[in-house]
Amino acid sequence: MTSRLGRRLRRNIAVTLDLLGKATGRGRRKRRGRAGPAAPLPADPEPGLAGRRVVVTGGNRGIGLAVARGLAAQGCRVAILSRSAAEGEAAASAIGGGAFAVAADLTRADQVGRAFAEVADRLGGIDILINNAGIAEAGHPVLADLPDTEFMAVLDANLGGAFRAAQAALRVMLPQGHGRIINVSTGAVERPQPGHSAYAVSKHGLEGLTMQLAAEAAASGIVVTTLRLGSVHTGMTERTLGTLKASLLPEPDSLLPAFIRVASAPAALVSGRSLSAWRLLADAEAELHTATPIAQVPAFTYPVYVHNGRTVARTDTDFTIYDRAENHYGAAPEVMAALGAATTPRLAAVYPDETHGALRAALAARMRLDSDCFAIGNGSWEILDRLLEMLTRPGDKVVSARPGWFGFNMLVGKRALDATMVPLRRTGAGFEYDLDAVAAAVGPATRLIYLISPSNPEGVVLKKAGFARFLAMVPDSIPILLDEAYAEYVDDPEAVTARDLIDTETRPILGLRTFSKFYALAGARVGYAYGRPEHVEWLKRGERIFSISRLSEVAATAALGATAHQQHIFDTTTAERRRMAGALTGLGLDVVPSQAPFMLVELPDTLTRVVEVFAEEGIYLGEKAFYKQRYFLLPISTPEENSRNLAILARLAGRGPAAAAAGHSVG
């Protein structure tokens, strides 16, 4: 059967290429030669779908029936193809509006040819083909256990059948000089799952068929595109998920707006592309115009803080804002002096050093590594995004911890990745990474492990012994990224960093750090990744040239040399962290032990009330609670601010200001 299907597909492809060659005035011999000028795109359809002559394969049930009914309601003249004549006639009757059915088995080329000829005769032509018909393997086994005959049957129905229908439609559309073929695919091409394996493989092939037919038909007036569908409530999903779970899915009618957009969109936006129905429904213009999954991600800005009717700026001296873990000590005097020296008219007119040589040399000296071990970026956010861009594509799997940093979670959504988020494990004293569960979540399709140490929001660090055991459990080919945004605040001697590993580990391990936190340069936007040169080179290849300004590099380089300022911040923060933990415990509030410049503290009242009371004192807290709304994130700031914050919490806890003063602040 395999060889017979192969011969049939090759023969049919040859026929289609000949047809397209005749329509464009180019024979097969000429196409094999040197490429000529790019062919013009087909003319765009007139606005609206009324009067369009539409064929829907598999239009007797499920999605096909819903689309056929919806297009008929748009004023289209609809013909449905169904393997069963009785089911097709019943569906056409239910659709109404002059819809009719033609029986055809798409695995039979003779039946397909006759059916399309009849449809074209009755409609006077074909404007749109919705290539929807398909089957899934009956037993839903994994691919390795699927009988060859069943695999080929699915492939023949879903890919071979779609090709035969497209070929028959092309024979009608080519003389017309226009037409549109919409091949129906599935989200399984982005997120493969065990079961329905042959079905997913056939849809991958279908999308390849779309690209090839679109290229061949570029000058013929024919548009070929693919629409990927998400799960909806159909008979197939009921058989797969069970009746109850399937009933929770959207109904097939919900997909109609996506089909309408693809059927009526300008050719330049859809020709040869695979578009996602769920992203079209979220933001059709973004999905049509962009080549990434960005349609499902809203643009991000922090919420504007309004206090008593007044919009509060982050630089407002009347308020203290704690929602971004900024360093309230400010930048070092050496940084300000270096910036002053660098702000000359000539330096402002000259491009910065694209190699970031001075900064990389300073980092190399600081961390006792070669300068080739560092890649620089516009904040650690940009470097993380660059790494995901290089390592992953939509549907790939990544493993991280929950709840984790919201920035990573946003980037995962932006790139349509499949993230497994492993919760931290509660211990008697606080939390710890469950590295056994992280390792268990790693599979052959995992492209990245991303862990934060100290974690956000818990302030938990990865420990040397546990991480060494973890490395032995995961494949050494999988990149591991340790986000060390707060590493400079750590005083736990057992904490592990990427610096502890890259001298001995040849596997891809990268550390990610920022100048925004410890060095108080959030406004300069400088971050860096470090690791073995052969792995850092990946990031350098994807770098946007001149991604940081000269002033940013000057500031970061000066910050590395301001050792007295660094020591003051480290000593004060670690002492204040201990003082605050003791004082808060004395107030009867649970505190999660932290190695970061913040800590999770038990709410003494509702989150809304705590935020309100702090706001009355001119302080804006992030309006978010964690771990079943029990904890809020309290920053560890300057001693004066910390004492003030403790006094507020003492009032909220009903203990009075004396309790908050139980510890002595350091100056």
199 is known as an active-site residue: yes
b/e map of 351-364 (b: 16 or more CB within 10 Å)?
Answer: ebeeebeebbebbb
What are the helix and strand counts (H, E) for the chain? 27, 23
Residue 111 CA to its chain's centroid (Å): 43
Q: DSSP readout, 485-547?
A: TTGGG---TTB--GGGTTTT--S-EEEEEESSSTT--TTT--EEEEE-HHHHHHHHHTPPTT-
Burial class (CB in 10 A: 0-12, 13-18, 19+), 413: middle
Distance CA 362, CA 90 (A): 76
Distance CA 367, CA 530 (A): 10
Token pair listed for 610: 């705590």
DSSP 296: G
Of 161, 76, 67, give the one whose Cα is nearest residue 112: 161
Burial class (CB in 10 A: 0-12, 13-18, 19+), 508: buried
| DSSP-assigned beta bridge partners for residue 185 | 228
CB 190 within 8 A of CB 204: no
CB 162 within 8 A of CB 131: yes
Of 163, 528, 184, give the one whose Cα is nearest residue 379: 528
Distance CA 615, CA 27 (A): 76
Q: Tokens 């605040």 appear where?
A: 489
Angle (nearest 5°) at CA 551 between 546 and 557: 95
Give phi and psi for 157, each to the nearest 5: -70, -45
Q: DSSP readout, 21-80?
A: HHHHT--HHHHHS---SPPPPPPPPPSS-TT-EEEEETTTSHHHHHHHHHHHHTT-EEEE
Distance CA 315, CA 636 (A): 19
Instruction: From residue 113, give the alpha-carbon distance in Å to each of 9, 143, 167, 535.
Output: 15, 32, 9, 55
Q: Tokens 């329509």 appear where?
A: 23
| DSSP-assigned beta bridge partners for residue 259 | none
* Catalytic residue from among 199, 433, 489, 631: 199
Active site amino acids = 199
